[in-house]
Amino acid sequence: MSATGLDNTTLAQVAIVVRDIEEACRRWAKILGQPVPQVILTQPGEEVHMTYRGQPSNAQAKLAFFQLGPVQLELIEPIGEPSTWKEALDKRGESVHHIAFWTKDMGASARFLQEQGIPLVQRGDMGEGQYAYFDAEQQLGVQIELLERVRKERVG
């Protein structure tokens, strides 16, 4: 982490929110010439210490992933609310939700983004690690997701 940017600028993922993940998987598989990926259901928000805009949320999502070289294409169908996924789908319909980067220090990266006027919107645990979404739509036109493999501290 530096005062001049994120500690890792290797793009990990581009994600799209969708209304029907099974149908979206079929459409993308056909275009990409890849098999239809497995759809997984996230754990309920309360089980992964999920917060949305600083408040606990029990929302979930169906997820599917296409590995496209070093970058994943993630499809997200929101289940329940409140969540940044549901908010984005309601606001813009099926559209790009976020771009994601891995970080080695979520706390420092979160502080850096917040100093840039990019606030934390949602976070949750993922196994030993965590994810966090930051609202960079005004500055960059899209949310940023940071992914941390081993959680040092929960952000938020």
Report the distance separating Cα 60 and Cα 49, nearest Å: 12
Q: What type of residue is 16?
A: I
Burial (Cβ within 10 Å: 0-12, 13-18, ≥19) of residue 82: middle
Q: Is the pLDDT of residue 1 over 60?
A: no
Residues 91-111 have pLDDT tens digits of 999 999 999 999 989 999 999
Tokens of 120: 């934390």
CB 122 within 8 A of CB 52: yes
Tokens of 54: 């600083």
Residues 24-33 have pLDDT tens digits of 999 999 999 9
In this prediction, residue 10 has a pLDDT band, given cuts at 50, 70 and 90, of: confident
